[in-house]
A and B are shown apart, each in its own frame.
Chain A
Amino acid sequence: MIKIEGLSKSFKDNVVLEDVSFEIEKGDVVALIGPSGTGKSTLLRCINQLERPEKGTITFDDVEFSLSSLKKTKDRLNLVRRTAMVFQQFNLFSRKTALENVTEALIHVKKIEKKEAEKIAREKLDKVGMGDRLYHYPKHLSGGQQQRVAIARALALNPELLMMDEPTSALDPELVYEVLDTIRLIAKEGNTLLLASHEMDFVKKVATKVIFLEKGHIVEMGTAEQIFEAPQNYRTKEFLAKNNMLVGAEYSI
């Protein structure tokens, strides 16, 4: 189980996250939803240490890490290496092929031998449907293909927590589904996911747990059913209504 406790983060005097706590069970698909500018990206970035919060801890089973004061590089790397991140803008290494994008960290971070690393990379790229694009550079791939390589890159690290920050919102509409299908696939395989998303239909179908975040606070959290079928807080209702999710209509994707 992964526990995040008391996470607070401000930029100067703009309080972005305030005392955020929640738990993730192994194999959970946790979705962060909420209005724009509410702190979803910041939350993921704090866990990944791309931002340094003022307060907060994360616990993996029984190993606790401070998110705010990991002074030793070793401890910070130890935390970061338990997680992996898929970014909105893909952020593939532009000078490396799809295969090298995946093997890079396997070889240089996990110190896996090149042959073995390539085997793992091919396997993951196959899984995301990119097995026939191993030697393509990012600039030769469509946005959806780049994002699938990014997912393979994250997956290959075998992270205890795989985070995704709006993985489809930089994509042309016709490319969204191939990426959502890929995420659905890896969710089914028992990976533990924490995902910020505006794709409500997708969240409703795939998430095991939904967290509604607003202005840096958790307003409501529960199973996808609880949040979408029977939201308790009126702010949650309002948000869902705005996103056309309160009418109870079925959407197919």
Chain B
Amino acid sequence: MNIFDLHTVRIDFWECLNYLPVTIKLAIEAELLSLLVGLIIAVIQMKKVKVLNKLCVVYNSFMRGTPILIQLYVTYYGIPIALKYINYYYGTNYEINGIDKVFFAILALGLNTASFNSVTIRASLESVDRGQIEAAKSVGMTDLQALFRITIPEALEVAIPTLGNSFIGLIKGTSLAFTCAVVEVTAQAKIIAGRNYRYFESYVAISIIYWATTLILELILFLIKKKIHIPDVVSGKEKRVAA
């Protein structure tokens, strides 16, 4: 028996790679939830909406003050209990088994990331020059047009690097989704290792998967940043026009 079996690593790698789409789908769905909730929290805090504003402070403090692993467990065990209570008190008949396990993971990861993203979103919205928003209104745009055509694009340049990093963090965070009985890359590695007792090999295999995924994401992030950055030199078009 080999001490370290490269062959097993290779087999595990390909087998776990099949679950990368699960991981990525989970991360994307959690990210979308976190952006939506993060935006809502950011707006509540910027507009200083009375009671809700306080609630957001407590929410953020809880999300930062507890480990994500525990938040996943709380969601996984808490929601069924909450449902039971609801069924009991309101005479409803919600079926806990009818809920896809992935839903718990998306909820826990999304709500956790939302707390961090809300700070990024708020800071980026607040960084937008008021003058441009006033100019947008003065040329007759509706509030929504001004928001989507001027404010958000402007805020995105500030927010994208941080949001991108938080998404990469989320990809890694999905490795905890096994707590919600979701089979993604890490859970599959555990399953394989449980079969052949080659724990080290399977974890080496998925380390490579996560690392490569992160590298690719970082590249994409770099390209996005480059795309949204206003060029430092004047467009070549100008010279053609002048000529």
Contacts and interface: CB of A to CB of B under 8 A. Distances in A.
Contacts of B129: 91, 94
> For this complex, into which size category does the number of interface residues on chain B fall?
20 to 34
Given A48-B138, A157-B139, A91 B131 contact: yes
Contacts of B234: 135-137, 140
Given A105-B140, A135-B238, 14 more contacts: A49-B137, A73-B143, A81-B140, A87-B134, A91-B129, A93-B132, A93-B136, A97-B235, A134-B237, A135-B241, A136-B238, A137-B231, A140-B234, A154-B139
Contacts of A157: 139-140
Nearest to B240: A135
Nearest to A134: B241
A28 interface: no
A108 B146 CA distance: 10
A40 interface: no
A84 interface: yes
26 contacts: A48-B137, A49-B137, A77-B140, A81-B140, A84-B138, A85-B135, A87-B131, A87-B135, A89-B131, A91-B132, A92-B135, A93-B132, A97-B235, A104-B139, A104-B149, A105-B141, A108-B149, A134-B237, A135-B234, A136-B238, A137-B230, A139-B230, A150-B135, A154-B139, A157-B139, A157-B140
Given A49-B137, A87-B131, A135-B237, A94 B142 contact: no
Contacts of B238: 132-136
Given A84-B139, A132-B238, A135-B237, A94 B231 contact: no
A90 B131 CA distance: 8
B230 to A, nearest CB: 5
B142 A73 contact: yes
B140 A132 contact: no
A109 interface: yes
Interface of B: 129, 131-132, 134-143, 145, 149-150, 153-154, 157, 230-231, 234-235, 237-238, 241-242
A109 B241 contact: no
B189 to A, nearest CB: 44
Secondary structure call for the A interface: loop
Nearest to B144: A73
A140 B230 CA distance: 10
Q: Which of A77, A90, A140 has the most CB of B within 10 A?
A: A140
Interface string A97-108: 100000011001
Contacts of A150: 135
Nearest to B233: A140
B140 A94 contact: no
Interface in A143-188: 150, 153-154, 157
Contacts of A249: none
A80 B132 contact: no
Interface string A54-90: 0000000000000000000100010011011101011
A50 interface: yes
A242 interface: no
A95 interface: yes
Contacts of A108: 141, 145, 149
Contacts of B237: 134-135
A65 to B, nearest CB: 14
Which 8 residue pairs spanning A and B have beta carbons closest together? Answer: A105-B139, A91-B131, A91-B135, A81-B140, A135-B235, A85-B138, A109-B140, A135-B237
